[in-house]
Amino acid sequence: MIPMSLAEIATAAEGRLSETADPEAVVTGGIEHDSRKVGPGGLFLALPGEKVDGHDFAPKAEAQGAVATIATRPIDSPAVYVDEGLRALAGIARETARRSEATVVGVTGSNGKTSTKDLIGHLCASLGPTVATEGNFNNELGHPYTVCRLAPDTRYLVLELAARGIGHITELCEIAPPHIGAVLNVGISHLDGFGSIETTAEAKSELPRFLAPEGTAVLNADDPRVAAMAERTRAQVLTFGVQNPADIAAADVEAGDGRHRFTLRTPDGDAPVRLRLWGGHHVHNALAAAAVAWRLGASPDHIAEQLSEAGRKSERRMDVFTLPDGTTVIDDSYNANPASMGAAIRALGQLPTAGRRIAVLGLMADLEELSDECHRRAGEQAAEAGVDELIAIGDGTEPIVEGAAGNDHEHSIDGANGVVATHVPDQTAAIELLRTRLRSGDSVLVKGSRHRTWDVADHLRAKEDNDQ
């Protein structure tokens, strides 16, 4: 954290110090909302929870070296009293960003935010000290928490910007104004919050619209809704793409074993890239990251070398591993929407396998009236990709079976497309079915929204032999 006195912290948080808090005491160790992570010189953010109240752990935080606790009710430890904890955290983060000289990179999109953020973070770290969002900690808590991790020598701050409605991205941008903003795509996701894909596009456009004239908007030339944002930003525009002309492009794309190869083309020359990440969707993610790095002054050779070295950092995202019997598992179970589901299914289809390809698919949440259509399309994509067997888990996934089998039956079908498609009520039933179906040499994809397929993935991971 950039050092600040408690008096300065109180001003930034719009709070007041308790009588036992020393205004001149300096906070150097960062802000934590988990008392177990608080260290000497840090701050503890006491948040009320459903089961426990953070205020009860203030004495523990003080014993571990916390300078003070940010609190909303009286406690027996040095405190900064505020009206609302998250608003106070945002204020401290805003002041931290104001004092920092780091270049701020913001990333948003309907799909691929976390993977692309990880790639950008990897590239930036090769250029200088970097702070990046951990996992997908991208909300009203995770975003300011990440900003507060800035140190005096940090050169790059890479932030994943998520939204479930209009105005959310703007609010995050106001905490740490981005110098570079990358928009990856606009797709069907979180329709319970956005209502339509047009509203989704409007929300994502808040990032390029926020940028200053001296900033850079990194836009996907292959997504018409993203490309159109060039007309709505004051910033310089840098495009990336595969199908359409772009400033940063991929040529000669080859699928290989599912880890794609391509020639990176930039205004400064070309360089070969061989990704370690699984799935064709990572080509666009890599290009977005390359565009950011090129804007920061990296050479094509350096960018290509770093992209070729980058591995998976976040859990349950295209994590490919092998079981002792030779079965290959693709754990992409963190979350799912129509675009990411299609990308994962295509990756399963491209994966070399000695046995069968099996897809275990859970519900894609928040699709509202488009749910049946999108799930049916996922089943069709499984058939098109050459999937041999499909297991759909839980209520709402029956259309996956219908789409895979090419007819309107709902339960167990040996379809005309050659897909054995089965609907099961829950993950326990899916695990039992896999026990009888999986054979040595098979490849299995596990994909669904949030927790809906995690038990299946964890069951398979328990058998894991080695990561690829």
Mean pLDDT value of segment 385-393: 97
In tens, the pLDDT along 131-175 reads 999 977 878 899 999 999 999 999 999 999 988 789 999 999 999
- pLDDT-based confidence at residue 194 (cuts at 50, 70, 90): low
**Whether pLDDT at 405 is above 90:** no
CA-CA distance, 257 to 47, in Å (whole number)? 47
Mean pLDDT value of segment 423-442: 96
Cα–Cα distances in Å, from 392 out to 31, 66, 78, 134, 447? 42, 49, 53, 31, 10
Cα–Cα distances in Å, from 76 out to 5, 61, 69? 20, 12, 10
Q: Which residue shows structure tokens 């941008």?
A: 173
Question: Residue 410's pLDDT is what?
Answer: 42
In tens, the pLDDT along 309-356 reads 999 888 898 999 999 999 999 999 999 999 999 999 999 999 999 999
Domain 319-467, CATH:
3.90.190.20
Question: Residue 256's pLDDT is what?
Answer: 87
- pLDDT-based confidence at residue 116 (cuts at 50, 70, 90): very high
**Whether pLDDT at 190 is above 60:** no
Question: Residue 312's pLDDT is what?
Answer: 86
In tens, the pLDDT along 6-56 reads 999 999 999 999 999 999 999 999 899 999 999 999 999 999 988 899 999
For residue 236, list its beta bridge partners. Answer: 216
Which of left, alpha, beta for 348 (phi over 0: left; psi -120 to 50: alpha)?
alpha
Evaluate whether the domain defined by 100-309 bears CATH number 3.40.1190.10.
yes
- Would you tell me which CATH number, out of the four given (1.10.1040.10, 3.40.1390.10, 3.30.390.30, 3.30.70.100), belongs to the domain 4-89? 3.40.1390.10
Domains 4-89 and 319-467 in one fold: no
Cα–Cα distances in Å, from 85 out to 22, 49, 72, 81, 193? 20, 12, 7, 9, 24
Mean pLDDT value of segment 386-400: 97
**Whether pLDDT at 468 is above 70:** no
Residue among 281, 275, 278 at smallest CA distance from 263:
275
Lowest-confidence region among 116-130, 354-368, 411-425, 427-441: 411-425
Question: Residue 138's pLDDT is what?
Answer: 78
Question: Residue 414's pLDDT is what?
Answer: 56
- pLDDT-based confidence at residue 467 (cuts at 50, 70, 90): very low
Q: Break the chain into its structural domains and give their ranges.
A: 4-89, 100-309, 319-467
CA atoms within 13 A on the CB side of 256: 16
In whole numbers, what is the pLDDT of the chain averaged over residues?
Answer: 93
Q: What percent of the chain has pLDDT over 90?
A: 87
**Whether pLDDT at 95 is above 60:** yes
The whole model's pTM is what? 0.87
